[in-house]
Structure 1
Amino acid sequence: MNINLGIQDESRAQIAAGLSRLLADTYTLYLKTHNFHWNVTGPMFNTLHLMFETQYTELALATDLIAERIRALGHVAPGSYSQFAALSSIPEETGVPTATDMIRQLLEGQEQVVRTARSLFPLVEGVHDEPTADLLTQRIQMHEKTAWMLRSMLG
């Protein structure tokens, strides 16, 4: 079926590809945050356990918003571990780091998602894709705030 949103097919494909990278980063960060929620130990256990739960819940909701925007642009959203692994710029963690290292890794992940989202702005602004620009702005605001909170825990 032909899609006529006022954005050329090639531009929609490029935006969808960028959003797929953002989705992969977001999902990878979600999985890492959930893992750390389950496995954190130490004197900050309760604080971090609850904080990580808040963060992974927000990330889970964000994956849906990003995937739905990809679909609205007429493209298929990636949804498998192998696709996310190939697209994500966030390294997975298979061990159980210390609580401080968990915070540091999540901070790095939050900042990486900001960079991934920010990299799409020239393209979406160039084709006047305001809905995607709005989504990116909201994601950047949330990740910058979360990064600030994690950074504050590191002193």
Structure 2
Amino acid sequence: MNVRDRDGEGRARNARPRDGLGRPLPYGAQGVERQAEGVVREPGETVREAQRLLDAGMPFHAHEVFEDAWKSGPAEAAPLWRALAQLAVGLTHAARGNAVGGARLLRRGAAALAGLDGPDKAGDGPPYGMDLPGLAGWARELAVRVEAGAAVDAAAEAPQLTGGPGPA
């Protein structure tokens, strides 16, 4: 019988430790602390926490932060957070050496960002201070390099969500 890890509500959860790129490690191995799921954050907190994780070379974990935002926030913001999650997962796959999946997700996220660069709720500029066209350009450029066989270091390639994309 295959015993699966379950949470308190009976949903399947993999309790195996994971590395910084979200890859499962053997039970008992030292892994990276996992992001708590279902955390509701203010948009600015989401951007700051995701940036911290991206800068640390943990795009898989940043994806989980964006996923929480898209699932817990207002429906009109979901396309933005979903697109950013796709960029983070694309970076994850690229850093894991999956060129096809990485490039595909980077391009999907970049395409989803198209048309989203409108005024934020206050009408002051881009959503939450993010340069969405710049992030889309970063993703498209990285996709080309990944397909050409470039090795990707997730921390070195981390985009800057605010103040323009590119490694810090």
Give the TM-score band, short-chain normalised. Answer: 0.3 to 0.5
Could you say which structure has the higher helix fraction? 1
TM superposition score normalised by structure 1: 0.37
Higher relative contact order (CA 8 A, sep 6+): 1
